[in-house]
Structure 1
């Protein structure tokens, strides 16, 4: 007698076929959005945000410039030569690029990687020379290398320059004041999503420095799989400059992270959090008018309430054994602070995981090597 396979059980083959069908349909929609005049940038933003992002680097080479409003004729422009030795940032850039080996694809021949590293140095110094108001920061190269690997030197230079004067503008001030200001948005977001975690972190005086490298490298420094990095960059390029800090406040799984971060932005926009974060407005926000994304293009997460209850229950269980010593003197408080750091690191690791590939990488949550 033949056994019944049951009702409502989908096989891996069917799941794969369904994804292939959605992928082909999405590719067609992206092609259509690119082919009209003017280009349908709103549709491209929706494609970049929705499941799977922009799918391939070939598509990204066509869409990323549109998302940043960079004209494609820059392909025809020969990048100017950069004088290195007399550049005040050259030594630090050189050191950072030399220790960026893991940001290049595994197995890439040394000769090819070394050429790309030279191009990486030139892109950074070229952008800084054109924009003397910008200041290099450690971790900037983690973002630039992503654009270099996807776009090549010419187009990467143009996009990185636009990005540096808009999305990354706050990080490129002579001081970290604006960067700290953006980090200050994290706790108000967490407070609204999970008040228990917020109160626990506040009591243990953890602060927000654990999220610094995530924010200023767009998570490029802590994600080991390049596919995951570019998928996240699809999302950030299509959204408000503060979206990375919303992304830092959410948890598993990866594609749901992107949906949840978008939901949080709609529910708790920066204007609502500004007073709690600080009194002044983000410079990146004030220069974002030509890249605005209407919140109506983002769909609420239908499982938000259920996920919130599940996370609250799990966190209460995890926190119960650690919080007992919070009220104790200095040594005990240090112990609890370490416990909370462990909790926030766990949350960050969850926020960087990918469905079905959670064991493929180990996030490094130190700042920079």
Structure 2
């Protein structure tokens, strides 16, 4: 089973990286100062992880993907020189959770950069091919009729316009084809990213047989994939899955339900009235799962 089709994987253009824009001069200066402070920390022989964590949870986080690519591995504590190689396709696709992962990834269009939407190429549909050929034939027939009128001396004021129709049709098709190529390129990139996302997830699950996939895990993985690429993203997610995300990856939801019991006290600290209302209607904590 493949992710929609076997489109060739495309490299992720830098234009797809999300950067924070400087809308005001004062904010721009603060952002520049923040970037300089983060880079200074990253340049130290002994990186201050606590300081990086403070910047990570501050507004705007690490500001640019360039900084994230350097900061994330150091925060998580991974060695970029010892990332395990990817298993073969048969091993990845033979895992018990593979089909569910593919279904979730195929539904994750909104998580990919703007412009990578699924669209059917204009000139690949049989109907549009027929319409295009009909327009060509009509244009040339009109042109031939106009030439015949000229030869017999029955000139028409519209002959000049009619004479240009074949060129106009050709020019229109050239523009449409350029638009189609752009859309098709975005489509190939998106499909390539989806393939990488599936492989990234399966690499973690195959390496740790005790881990079980849960819906929403792919949303975490795609964030790392878009910033650092598949191999580094795998190393990051692999480490997080065995630590921060471990309780959510059991075969059952017992530990997840236990963690959800903390939701009421947390809500009560922020909005006691909301907590009291939810308790009064006996809101089941398992209702938090989709959120």
Q: 1:190 aligns with which of 267, 270, 273?
A: 267
Do the aligned residues in 2 keep the contact of 1:61 with 1:150 (CA within 8 Å)?
yes
Q: Does the 8 Å contact 1:74/1:155 carry over to 2?
A: no
CA gap 1:15/1:102 in 2 versus in 1, 3 angstroms: closer
Residue number in structure 1 paired with 2:258: 181
1:79 matches 2:86: yes
Aligned counterpart in structure 2 of residue 101 of structure 1, from 88, 109, 117: 109
Aligned residue number for residue 316 of structure 1: none
Deviates most, 201-210 or 16-25: 201-210
Scaled by the length of structure 1, the TM-score of the pair is 0.52
Rg larger for: 2
Contact 2:264 2:275 in 1 (8 A): yes
Tell whether 2:62 aligns with 1:62: no
Name the structure 1 match of 2:210: 133
TM-superposition CA deviations, 1:131-165 (whole Å, max 9, x none)? 11111112211111111111100100000101111
1:252-291 matches, within 5 Å, as none
Partner of 1:27: 35
CA 74–29 in structure 1, closer or farther in 2 if over 3 Å, else same: farther
- Residue 122 of structure 1 deviates from its aligned partner by 0.8
The answer for unaligned runs of 5 or more in structure 1 is 1-13, 215-369
With a CA cutoff of 8 Å and minimum separation of 6, indicate the structure with the bigger relative contact order.
2
Deviation at 1:209, TM superposition (A): 3.8
Q: Report matched runs for 1:79-228 at 5 Å.
A: 79-82=86-89, 83-108=91-116, 109-214=186-291
- Indicate if the aligned counterparts of 2:92 and 2:98 stay in contact, CA closer than 8 A: yes
* Residues 1:65 and 1:204: Cα distance change in structure 2 (over 3 Å): same
Q: Which residue of 2 aligns with 1:333?
A: none
Unaligned runs of 5+ in 2: 1-21, 117-185
Relative to the length of structure 2, the TM-score reads 0.65
Q: Number of matched residues?
A: 200
- 2: distance between equivalents of 1:94 and 1:24? 40
**Which residues of 2 match residues 286-297 of structure 1 at below 5 A?**
none
RMSD: 1.9
Gap change, CA 1:100 and 1:15, over 3 Å in 2:
closer
Q: Secondary structure at the match of 1:213?
A: coil
Distance 1:15 1:115, change over 3 A: closer
Q: Report the Cα distance in structure 2 between the residues aligned to 1:207 and 1:29, rounded to whole angstroms.
A: 45
Quote the residue 1:239 is aligned against. Answer: none
Shift of 1:90: 1.1
